[in-house]
Amino acid sequence: MNDTTDIDDIINNLRDDDISNLHSGIEIQSSLDDSFQQTDLTDLKKAWLAERMSPDILAFQTSLIDRLMDRIRIQAAYIEENSMADFHNSGDIKMKLLIVESELERIKFLVRGYLRTRLSKIDKYTIYIIQSGENQQEGNADQFDLRLLLSPQEIQYMERHHRILLNLYNTQFLSALPAQLQRLDDSSGGISMVEEPDLDKPVFIRVLETVERPIRVGLDEITLEKGNIYVLRYSAISKYLIGGEVELI
Amino acid sequence: MDSLKLIGLRVPKMSPMVQMQVPLWLALILKKQARCKIVMPSWLEEEHLRQVYERETTVQDRFSDQLPWRWMELSQSLLAHASDDLKSPLAKVRSLLQDIREVRLAKARAGISELNESHVQMDNLGHMEINELRPFAILVMDQLRRITSLTEPEPDHDDDDYDNDDV
Amino acid sequence: MYGDIANKLIQDAKLTQMLETLPLYQEELVRSIVREVRDLHRDTEAVLARYGGELPTQDRKVACWIFVQHLCMRRNKRCLLAYQRLRSTRLDAMAWNDVDTMDQEVLNNLNPNEQDYLRDYSELLVDYKGEWVDVDLTGSLEPPRDLFIDVRVLKDAGEIQTEYG
């Protein structure tokens, strides 16, 4: 269609007080596929924010990221195809390309930020993560193998980075030190050399679903009611984050 | 324009004079191309903002719940890019928003004195307002936590933390 | 005094934090610190040997001396690690910024081991980024503000993109 001017009255979905994201409630002929797409984008934003705000590393969103990457490739191909086409006869296609490209950039920004935030945590807590796996193999049941939270690519990245870093330390000075001083995960002398995430770090949360039982925060008890905004220590709510009752903001 | 499938939504077929809902970023693109009018949300009307302002000034210990979560971001973009679609005079809306912002900021500042090491409730604060508060709030709570952990160590939280000693 | 050289290294690290580019690797300082640790170790072992390799808990003066020797060694080690950690983090950042790992300008202030590391990490990064070409991991971490940013020119069809806006 050629007449693209004067489209009147595009409503924003801003009326609602509880718009947690701008995409909720968009009027579309709702096929299953469409609502699926929408949830994915909401979930991506949530995952991105949660990863940026949480002190520890969260589970990699494998299937979500897989689905989004598929869609990203499809949109990139759409841009490629249509940029080649004969567009002189249609202002419509230019408009569409602009929209597709803008959305694509927004989503790529989120995925990129998500992945890079994770990498920086992985770099920071490498030894801690690796140790958690070793402890678990040694039959320490309390210890969760944190590597299970990483994607295969992230594990590969982490192990390789650790190896070359270790090699650097060794060739620079570590191998020249007395044998008992050559370890990196040394905690003798009261000072641990292994950097661990500070799970009691204060975080901002918003309650998405009321939690019936009050939770303990230090010496107090609080009730998480839908819509509440709190700042409190991460460890008090981390399981509700995983359960989806609260989100980090 | 025909319907268009995006990653996060399917844009419906757009025809002149038909109202529809789209995400803000998309509305702003269309607006910039002069292809649409934006129907402003009702909370951006003078009357509503005046009510919010009154509520904010009369109720001291809470924030009004009559603004959306991203009220600052939304009003900022809408005023910057689509002010001609406002139902109320721009100057009025702008000055009311400014007043609301100031009174809420003052309340948030007053609330800072209530910061403690355990938790603080901040219902109805906007996302942007939280971001402004975040660095300070976290710093204060962290320090309080450290002090508290020295005076009354909790058995299940044996932090803390020697990690600031070199470089 | 023991620990003095390590302090110099830490001062250098402090300075490094404020500089945009990495200053020269402090080869000589690092070597002296390693030597100091080995001296401390040798002396401590010699004294321990006199007590049959056991910490002489009954002789508190000697026990205390040994303890301090150990603290000095560990402190030196921590300083070495902190120094190298800071530098390797900066090397990582250089790799993310896609520096040319053959460029002499870049390599000048690095010692050979660091040069190897930079190359290794750059390779690692190329591999990891390769898994995510579609989102361009080294792309901007600033949110896309301008509606018209990053419009790629695809082959010869240059006209399209500029006509967008």
Domains of chain B: 1-38 (no CATH), 40-151 (1.20.58.1020)
ipTM topping 0.90: no
Range of the domain at A227: 202-248
The average pLDDT across A157-176 equals 96
For residue C163, list chain A residues with Cβ-Cβ distance below 8 A: 94
Total structural domains within chain A:
3
**Residue A48: inside a domain, yes or no?**
yes
For A44-81, what is each residue's pLDDT tens digit? 999 999 999 999 999 999 999 999 999 999 999 999 98
**Residue A195: inside a domain, yes or no?**
no
Mutate to test the interface with A, among B48, B65, B118, B130 (most CBs of A within 10 A): B118
Out of A101-110, B106-115, C35-44, least confident range = B106-115
A77 and A97 both lie in a single domain: yes
Q: What is the pLDDT of residue B166?
A: 40
Q: What is the pLDDT of residue B151?
A: 73
Domain end call among A148, A167, A190 = A190
**Residue A162: inside a domain, yes or no?**
yes
Q: What is the pLDDT of residue B158?
A: 42
Of the candidates C10, C86, C147, which has its C-beta nearest B32's C-beta?
A: C147
Q: What is the pLDDT of residue C146?
A: 54
**Mean pLDDT estimate for chain A:** 83
Instruction: C140-147: list long-range contacts, CB under 8 Å, 24+ apart.
Output: C140/A109, C141/A109, C141/A112, C141/A113, C141/A116, C143/A106, C143/A109, C144/A102, C144/A105, C144/A106, C144/A109, C147/A98, C147/A102, C147/B25, C147/B28, C147/B29, C147/B32
| Neighbouring-strand partners of residue A217 | A220
Domains in chain C (CATH in brackets) are 4-135 (1.20.58.1030)
Asked if residue B161 has pLDDT above 60, the reply is: no
Q: What is the pLDDT of residue B60?
A: 86
A59 and A74 both lie in a single domain: yes
Higher pLDDT, C140 or A26: C140
Percent of chain A with pLDDT over 90: 63
For residue C14, list chain B residues with Cβ-Cβ distance below 8 A: 167
Q: Is the peptide bond before B161 cis (omega within 30 degrees of 0)?
A: yes
Q: Which residues of B52-88 are buried (b: 16+ CB within 10 A; e: fewer)?
A: bbebbeeeeeebbebbbbbbbbbbeebbebbeebbeb
Query: What is the Cα–Cα distance from B1 to B61, expressed in whole angstroms?
Result: 49
Query: What is the Cα–Cα distance from A71 to A73, expressed in whole angstroms?
Result: 5
A110 and A47 both lie in a single domain: yes
Q: What is the pLDDT of residue A33?
A: 56
Q: What is the pLDDT of residue A5?
A: 31
Q: What is the pLDDT of residue B127?
A: 93
Q: How far is B153 from chain A (nearest CA, A)?
A: 10
| Pairwise CB contact (< 8 Å): B166 & C14 | no
A106 and A158 both lie in a single domain: no
Closest C-alpha to B67, from B39, B28, B106, B41: B41
Asked if residue A29 has pLDDT above 60, the reply is: no
- CB count within 10 Å of CB C52 equals 7
Q: What is the pLDDT of residue B101?
A: 96
Q: What is the pLDDT of residue C157?
A: 30
**Residue A6: inside a domain, yes or no?**
no
Confidence of residue A85 (pLDDT cuts 50, 70, 90): low
Contact present, C2 and C40 (Cβ < 8 Å): yes
Query: What is the Cα–Cα distance from B157 to B154, expressed in whole angstroms?
Result: 5
A41 and A116 both lie in a single domain: yes
**Residue A22: inside a domain, yes or no?**
no
Interface of B with A in 16-55 (CB under 8 A): 16-27, 29-31, 33-44
Question: What CATH code is carried by the domain that includes residue A88?
Answer: 1.20.58.1030
Contact present, B106 and B47 (Cβ < 8 Å): no
A214 and A227 both lie in a single domain: yes
A159 and A115 both lie in a single domain: no
Question: What CATH code is carried by the domain that includes residue A237?
Answer: 3.40.5.60
For residue B166, list chain C residues with Cβ-Cβ distance below 8 A: 10, 13, 78-79, 82
Asked if residue A37 has pLDDT above 90, the reply is: no
The average pLDDT across A211-215 equals 92
Domain end call among A72, A104, A124 = A124
Asked if residue C32 has pLDDT above 70, the reply is: yes
A112 and A173 both lie in a single domain: no
**Residue A19: inside a domain, yes or no?**
no
- CB count within 10 Å of CB A188 equals 12
Q: How far is A30 from chain B (nearest CA, A)?
A: 9
